[in-house]
Amino acid sequence: MIKGGTIVTADRTYKSDILVDGDKIIEIGENLSGDETLDASECYVMPGGIDPHVHLEMPFMGTHSADNFEIGTRAGLAGGTTMVVDFCLPEPGQSMMEALAIWQQKSGAACADYSYHMAVTWWSEQVFNEMQEVVDRGINTFKHFMAYKGALMVDDDEMFASFQRCAALGAMPLVHAENGDIVATMQQKLLSEGNNGPEAHAYSRPPEVEGEAANRAIMIADMAGVPLYIVHTSCEQAHEAIRRARQKGMRVYGEPLIQHLTLDDSEYSNPNWDHAAQRVMSPPFRNKQHQDSLWAGLQSGSLQVVATDHCAFTIEQKRFGVGDFTRIPNGTGGLEDRMPMLWTTGVRTGRLTMNEFVAVTSTNIAKILNIYPKKGAILEGADADIVVWDPNRSKTISASRQQSCVEYNVFEGKEVIGLPRFTLTRGKVAIEESTIKVEPGHGEFVGREPNAPVNAALSKWKEITAPRKVERRPDLMPAGV
């Protein structure tokens, strides 16, 4: 029994106790009794966070991200996140089912529940066919990289084909929106001019390359008649594309990261190479104008989800890029810090209400991924993924005390106020203040049903391009035809 707390959901705030039995919430009410009691007095009791964008032990840029499923999910739990969604990445030419088997192996030691997005990294009849099997296995989202030319990137024709396939299967495409051709050109230009430091990473990926790709993906999705989810939305141009599309009635979702909301591009001017390289991720950190736009998007609802894109690399791995910024593995951590950082910079400053905090860290993505109310809810029958949030607990973020195995933290030194007192993962107490009680292997795969297979496009494109043969008058035909 979770006693004496104030329940905060995406919809409302009220005082009540919660009774958990096994995996589930079985009763919500006053004066309940249970065998074991967790004291939630002075706390907010919220649905556990869902981080829909993590890369655990991912092969990438000649290495693999340092935190595995056990470490990553433990880091999540320590910060109130009870479910993660990782990206299964077939190598170009590799079968999706083969890649999925590898990911299933890797996620066996997860401490909290997890799911996968499947990446479309190449296109063929085999991929077309396998997408059905992937959906049958409970994966209803397909990721497309518009960047990382020569590696993961897909072209527009491949994206269009895949988006149409998603529409037919009731699945949703995701895109990493950056124009990979232009990034590659800018990288070569910068290198040839002797700009090889981590600051050049940001110059090679200005907001325009993201805005262009976001607009392009939105138009392609509309032509394919499918909703679209744009990961790590980091700039005003991409946000505006999303907002404009939504105003026209398109189902387009945007996901800012906690890093982009709270850290800016001045990080790359740090004279310490390691400091700057440790912040190299794509898209790069932006200036205040872009940050303000992202916050406004969360407030107004034009952006729906705050994620981390947790993709941690050690100091040694980052140093692969000494002398050539294009070889610095792209990615930063954040899983443990997402909820405390967003509470501190969002709720405590008045930029977000507590209910909006729950919406953008948990409930919205549960609905988008079609796993609500199993996840993302405090309701009888829902999974007991619960965070008992103490708004008065504080700490200074430090790599020396974090779960992640990397030696640094991009939020180092930041004071957060608002931390879990308890985190429950499917009924098990995983975190009790600073004590970690999770068992590796407790986490289970969460399958996600497809949506209805027809997501009508709003654009008139299909009608315009439907072949309509015009009957010509033979007497008006040019001679000799």
Closest distance between Zn ion and the C-beta of residue 205, in Å? Answer: 11
Looking at the Cβ atoms of 309 and 390, the one nearer to Zn ion is: 309
Closest distance between Zn ion and the C-beta of residue 69, in Å? Answer: 16
Nearby residues of 377 by Cβ (< 8 Å), 6 or more positions away: 9, 47, 363, 366
Looking at the Cβ atoms of 49 and 283, the one nearer to ligand URP is: 283
Looking at the Cβ atoms of 43 and 183, the one nearer to Zn ion is: 183
In SS3 terms, the chain reads as CEECCEEECCCCEEECEEEEECCEEEEEECCCCCCCCEECCCCEEEECEEEEEECCCCEECCEECCCCHHHHHHHHHHCCEEEEEEEECCCCCCCHHHHHHHHHHHHHHCCCEEEEEEECCCCCHHHHHHHHHHHHCCCCEEEEECCCCCCCECCHHHHHHHHHHHHHHCCEEEEECCCHHHHHHHHHHHHHCCCCCCHHHHHCCCHHHHHHHHHHHHHHHHHHCCCEEECCCCCHHHHHHHHHHHHCCCCEEECCEHHHHHCEHHHHHCCCHHHHHHCCCCCCCECHHHHHHHHHHHHHCCCCCCECCECCCCHHHHHHHCCCHHHCCCCECCCCCHHHHHHHHHHCCCCCCHHHHHHHHHHHHHHHCCCCCCCCCCCCCCECCEEEEEEEEEEECCHHHCCCCCCCCCCCCCEEEEEEEEEEECCEEEEECCEECCCCCCCCECCCCCCCCCCCCCCCHHHHHCCCCCCCCHHHCCCCC
Contact set for ligand URP, span 312-371 (CB under 6 A): 330-331
Looking at the Cβ atoms of 107 and 425, the one nearer to Zn ion is: 107
Closest distance between ligand URP and the C-beta of residue 176, in Å? Answer: 5
Looking at the Cβ atoms of 233 and 425, the one nearer to Zn ion is: 233
How many residues in the shown chain lie near ligand URP by CB under 6 A?
A: 8
Sites of contact with Zn ion (CB under 5 A): 176, 309
198 binds, among ligand URP, Zn ion, none (CB under 5 to 8 A by kind): none
Binder of ligand URP out of 28, 54, 55, 112 (CB under 6 A): 55
331 binds, among ligand URP, Zn ion, none (CB under 5 to 8 A by kind): ligand URP
Looking at the Cβ atoms of 38 and 231, the one nearer to Zn ion is: 231
Contact set for ligand URP, span 170-199 (CB under 6 A): 176
Closest distance between Zn ion and the C-beta of residue 290, in Å? Answer: 17
Closest distance between ligand URP and the C-beta of residue 309, in Å? Answer: 5
Looking at the Cβ atoms of 176 and 239, the one nearer to ligand URP is: 176
Closest distance between Zn ion and the C-beta of residue 288, in Å? Answer: 23
Binder of ligand URP out of 238, 281, 378, 388 (CB under 6 A): 281
CB-nearest residue to ligand URP: 330
Site for ligand URP contains 239 (CB under 6 A): no
Report residue 382 CA to chain centroid gap. 22
Looking at the Cβ atoms of 260 and 426, the one nearer to ligand URP is: 260
Looking at the Cβ atoms of 176 and 243, the one nearer to Zn ion is: 176
Binder of ligand URP out of 210, 212, 309, 390 (CB under 6 A): 309
330 binds, among ligand URP, Zn ion, none (CB under 5 to 8 A by kind): ligand URP
**Binding site residues, ligand URP, CB under 6 A:** 55, 176, 281-282, 309, 311, 330-331
